[in-house]
A and B are shown apart, each in its own frame.
Chain A
Amino acid sequence: MLFSSAIFIFLFLPASLIGYQIVSRFSRSATLAWLTITSFFFYGYWNPSYLVLLAASILMNYLFAQMLGEGKPEANQSRWLVIAILANLGLLGYYKYLFPFLIFFHDHGVTNHAFANVVLPLGISFFTFTQIAYLIDLRQLIAKRQGLLPYSVFVTFFPHLIAGPIIHPRELMPQLDEERIRGLDAGDLALGVSWFVMGLAKKVLIADRMAPLSDVVFHNPESAGIVTAWLGALTYSMQLYFDFSGYSDMALGLARMFSIEFPFNFNSPYKSQSIIEFWTRWHMTLSRYINEYLYTPILRWANGRRIDAGKKVTRKASATLEGFTSMVAFPLITTMFLAGIWHGAGFQFVVFGVLHGLYLTVNHAWRIFTPQGHRFHRKVPAPFMIALTFLGFLISLVFFRSANVHQAVYLLQTMCGVHGRGPDFGAFPYLTHIPPTSKFLSHFSTAALSLLICFFIVWALPNTQEILGQLPKDEVRKPSILPNLRWRPTATWSLGLTFVFCLAILLLDASTSFLYFQF
């Protein structure tokens, strides 16, 4: 079920909220059971057969968890943890990578047997990662072992089940205590509904409206001239931004309706002044996950090897070429390579990951070799750094969105003018495929104007959590032209957001799946 589908908005969500309010009067167990049942229904509505997979995964990890944590024999814990992680990765590998690889081998003549692809279970990456994190935290005594019911809610709670945020047990478990889940709170409901509507508007009114142009350009890169290629790539950058930002807002808003707070997942990444900062603002919980469970172990391993070889692992050592290579470049590129593969079994995702590994390496080189206060820093204005960061990300997005590396390279060449100026935007033959709900994308002037509006929203306005007053007090707000724009439960905000809600309802039939659902 999609957050932006009518059946979710008009039936599932009201029913789950009303049921939650009713059962919360009985007991904590009843409330947790209700949340589990509704979340399973939410998941099963897409494809009931995969409910078995989800349930089996939860049961398997619940049983593994019984072997880990406080009071369990220390000697066996690491062995069980490795087995548990391998089992989870095996499941993920089977559904996400095995058949694409077999098909790849078949296409290249390595095998004769033709394989049919299996349907990727929705959200398998996210519920697998969530559970691996739980097991590791148990092993490290950061998390406490949970009963089956709270554990099921932790894994399946529908606002984060399909595409994150990826949540730590320490973030969610305390919120499932008796004191916290005592029915609906009007304040949280008002905030959650407003947050959800803002996210819905981003998804339905902006991302889905921008999508058709990027779709036709990326499906037919060979027909695009230089202007069309740029517009297609920029449109995709905005589509992805508003799609994922909208999804994150909806997820956080939905959780808040149940008085549960999720960690932020998206925080104006296009305002980032460096690629390092970018990854602290884009898919923040995935970045955190990758940092904690991938980058840090790789870094530790690399540092361990240096120590074994009698080399230093100090900050000063990382400022040498050899130290930088082994302590900064290697862990970063390896991590981002693996993060790229996570996005899909295609070489274009590998390029996307490695490209970001290189970006981060260059960025760290700049940070390390030109320390704070260096004369270079004062000479580079912030808008330039923001634009450079965005451009770097845009180039990587061309790989991210393209069907394969060849098409991505072709489109990038077109954007650089390697294939000449090419046909004008109006001569792009696939503009006729743009549906009436995005007809403004068929003309250069209105397409360019819509992109300018998107850039204005992204760069000049405060983000959702800033408007809703949800940023932590110590968090520095990015500059915007409306720094005092602040949501309040007033008639103006109510009617304004209801109007936006109605506009979104008018376009629900033309809404599509979230881009991150495919991962």
Chain B
Amino acid sequence: MAYAGSVSSKRLYLYLAPFILIPCFFLGSACFFLPSRWVAVRSENTYLINLAWGATLHNVNCQIVVYGDSTAMVGIDPALIRQRTGLSACNIAEYEGMTIFNGTMVLDRYLSQNQRPKFLIFLYSPEDFDPSSQRQVVGLYEAMTWRVGQPNRLINLATLLRRPDEFFYWAGLGWRLALERIGNRPASNDILQFRTAHQGQYPIDAPTATECDTMVRPPSVPNREWIAGLKSYNRVGTTVLVDSTPMAPCDPKLSYFQQTLPPLIDNRFQTIPITSFTTEGRMHVNATGSVLLSNMVADQVLQHMSVDATGRKP
């Protein structure tokens, strides 16, 4: 017994109190401080500043809405689709973390604030048809930050605490980043309006890939129930398309997804040249790839529009 007898219990409990109270305050205050706009605009994180862009849109009433993971967010150019189809288009895709953590909440929020689109296109990287396949690596911090900041904070917090390890790491990481950048000036207007300026597209400037070494996809099996859930957005007047983003011909997982995905998706499973991708590791396309990807979606929409006009299947 270390100090029994020489130090009163009251003093020992007072000694222990800060070890409990300060970290509790630290974690609790994270729920209010970290999702604040004040932190976001000083974060040097353009994505965080423009987080859940689709949920901020009111009465824009896009006729084509693209929702999906970061391959869609980076690759789909709404201006090109509009030019090709004559329909207004919005890219409200988010990093996959948003889907993993919040499902389609951003899309639901968009749909509740706007007229239903003529075409709702879900566009995901092949492995993301299993939304749990890469839980740790794809914008989970931002997804949790957004969720905590939503109305009904206590309910959201309870949801977060279902995976307490992730919540604690979120709070620790968030405070660390916030404290590191507390002295920063707020981001410029260009950054604040980054997604608005690109109609939702989030182009990434990274070197062009020349080989498939950087294409590391986690093991995943397409989740049929998840895909069926996406297709359930089908309503009269809205055509729902569940698409996969193309792969490079040298991608090691190409043959696997060529076998498993086609029966589950609405687009033709395609490949595009490796030089259409960037090297930053997440199979995002560059400007060349963005044109190919956007044209692919536009072609698909045009085919469906011709069906509507002629009654023939595309």
CA distance A159 to B269 in the complex (A): 53
Q: Which of A186, A256, A259, A508 interacts with B13 by CB under 8 Å?
A: A186
Do the beta carbons of A7 and B165 come within 8 Å of each other? yes
Q: Are A489 and B22 in contact (CB under 8 A)?
A: no
Residues of A within 8 A of B137 (CB): none
Tell me whether A11 is interfacial, beta carbon within 8 Å.
Answer: yes
Cα distance A121–B14 in the bound complex, in angstroms: 41
Interface residue B236 (Cβ < 8 Å from any Cβ of A) = no
Residue of A259, A507, A508 with most partner-chain B CB within 10 A: A508
CB 8 Å contact bits of B9-32 with A (1 = contact, 0 = none): 101111111110011001100000
Among the listed stretches A188-196, A216-224, A226-234, which one makes contact with chain B, having 4 or more residues with CB under 8 Å of it?
A188-196
B9 to chain A, nearest CB (A): 5
- Bound complex: CA of A509 vs CA of B179, how far in Å? 15
Instruction: Point out the residue from A186, A197, A505 that lies within 8 Å of B9, measured CB to CB.
Output: A186
Choose among A7, A191, A259, A491 the residue that contacts B164 (Cβ–Cβ < 8 A): A7
Contact in complex: A505, B23 (CB < 8 Å): yes
Q: Is the CB of B168 within 8 A of A497?
A: no
B176 and A502: CB pair below 8 A? no
CB closest chain-B residue, reference A189? B16
The one of B11, B13, B26 in contact with A505, judged by C-beta atoms closer than 8 angstroms, is B26
Asked if B124 lies at the interface with its beta carbon under 8 angstroms from chain A, I say no
Interface residues in B144-182 (C-beta closer than 8 Å to A)? 164-165, 168-170, 172-173, 175-176, 179
Q: Does B309 contact A (CB under 8 A)?
A: no
Task: Give complex CA distance A507, B176 in Å.
Answer: 7
Taking a contact as CB atoms under 8 Å apart, the answer to whether A10 and B168 are in contact is yes
User: Given A186-B13, A506-B179, A507-B176, does the pair A494, B18 have CB atoms closer than 8 Å?
Assistant: yes
Taking a contact as CB atoms under 8 Å apart, the answer to whether B18 and A187 are in contact is no
Q: Which of A185, A186, A197, A502 contacts B26 (CB 8 A)?
A: A502
* Distance from A380 Cβ to chain B, minimum over Cβ atoms (Å): 39
| Total residue contacts A-B, CB cutoff 8 A | 90
A501, CB-defined interface residue at 8 Å: yes
> DSSP class of B's interface residues: helix, strand, loop or mixed?
helix
The 10 closest A-B CB pairs, nearest first, are A6-B168, A186-B12, A509-B169, A187-B3, A489-B15, A498-B18, A191-B2, A506-B176, A187-B4, A7-B165
Shortest beta-carbon distance from B145 to chain A in Å: 14
Contacts of A6 in B (CB 8 A): 164-165, 168-169, 172
A-B contact pairs, 5 of them (CB 8 A): A6-B164, A6-B169, A188-B1, A193-B16, A508-B168
CB distance from A340 to the nearest CB of B (A): 35
User: B154 CB to closest chain A CB, in angstroms?
Assistant: 18
Q: Give chain B's interface residue range (CB within 8 Å of chain A).
A: 20 to 34
Complex: chain B residue closest to A505, CB-CB: B172
Asked, given contacts A6-B164, A489-B12, whether A502 binds B22 with beta carbons under 8 Å apart, the answer is: yes
A506 to B178, CA, bound (A): 11
> A residues 300-335 with Cβ under 8 Å of B?
none
A495 lies within 8 A of chain B by Cβ: yes
- A362 CA to B4 CA, complexed, in Å: 47
Are B19 and A498 touching (Cβ within 8 A)?
yes
Which chain B positions have C-beta within 8 A of A497? 19
State the main secondary structure of chain A at its contact with B.
helix
Residues of A within 8 A of B173 (CB): 506, 509
Docked-complex contact A494 and B164, CB < 8 angstroms: no
Alpha-carbon separation in the docked complex, A397 to B245 (Å): 47
Question: Which residue of chain B lies nearest to A191 when distances are taken between CB atoms in the complex?
Answer: B2
A96-113: which have CB < 8 Å to B?
A: none
A185 to chain B, nearest CB (A): 6
Q: Are B164 and A190 in contact (CB under 8 A)?
A: no
Chain A: interface size category: 20 to 34
Interface assignment of A490: CB less than 8 Å from any CB of chain B? yes
Known pairs A6-B172, A197-B19, A506-B179 / 10 extra A-B pairs, C-beta < 8 Å: A10-B164, A187-B4, A187-B7, A189-B12, A191-B3, A498-B23, A505-B172, A506-B172, A506-B176, A509-B169
Q: Say yes or no: B19 contacts A501, CB within 8 Å.
A: yes
CB distance from A503 to the nearest CB of B (A): 9
In the assembled complex, which residues on chain B have CB atoms less than 8 Å from the CB atom of A438? none
Judge whether B12 and A187 touch: CB under 8 Å.
yes
Chain A nearest CB from B26 CB (Å) reads 6
Complex: A502 Cα to B13 Cα, angstroms:
19
A493 beta carbon closer than 8 Å to chain B = yes
Rounded to whole Å, the gap between the CB of A498 and the closest CB of chain B is 4
A77 interface residue per 8 A CB criterion: no
Collect the chain B residues with CB atoms within 8 Å of residue A11's CB: 164
Determine whether the beta carbon of A506 is less than 8 Å from that of B12: no
Question: Chain A residues with Cβ under 8 A from B172's Cβ?
Answer: 6, 505-509
Looking across the interface, which residue of chain A has its beta carbon closest to that of B3? A187
Q: Is A287 in the interface zone, CB < 8 Å from B?
A: no
- Central interface residue in A7, A490, A495, A509, by most chain B CB within 10 Å: A509
- Interchain CA distance A119-B298 in the complex, whole Å: 48
By the criterion CB–CB under 8 Å, are B1 and A187 in contact? yes
Proximity bits, A1-36, B CB within 8 Å = 1, else 0:
000011101110000000000000000000000000
A116 to chain B, nearest CB (A): 15
On whether the beta carbons of A489 and B27 are closer than 8 Å, the reply is: no
Q: Which residues of A contact B11 (CB under 8 A)?
A: 489
Shortest Cβ distance from B239 into chain A, in angstroms?
Answer: 42
**Beta-carbon contact of A495 and B18 below 8 Å:** yes
A10 CA to B2 CA, complexed, in Å: 25
Question: Would you list which residues of chain A between 130 and 153 have a CB under 8 Å from chain B?
Answer: none
Given contacts A187-B1, A188-B2, A506-B179, contact A501 B23 (CB under 8 A): yes
Report the nearest B residue to A504, measured CB to CB. Answer: B172
B18 touches A185 (CB 8 A): no
Cα A495 to Cα B23 with chains together (Å): 12
Is the pair A490, B168 in contact by a Cβ cutoff of 8 Å? Answer: no
Determine if A498 and B169 form an interchain contact, defined as CB atoms under 8 angstroms apart: no
Residue of A whose beta carbon sits closest to that of B22:
A498
Measured CA separation A498–B2 after assembly (Å): 20
CB 8 Å contact bits of A469-510 with B (1 = contact, 0 = none): 000000000000000000001110111011001100111110
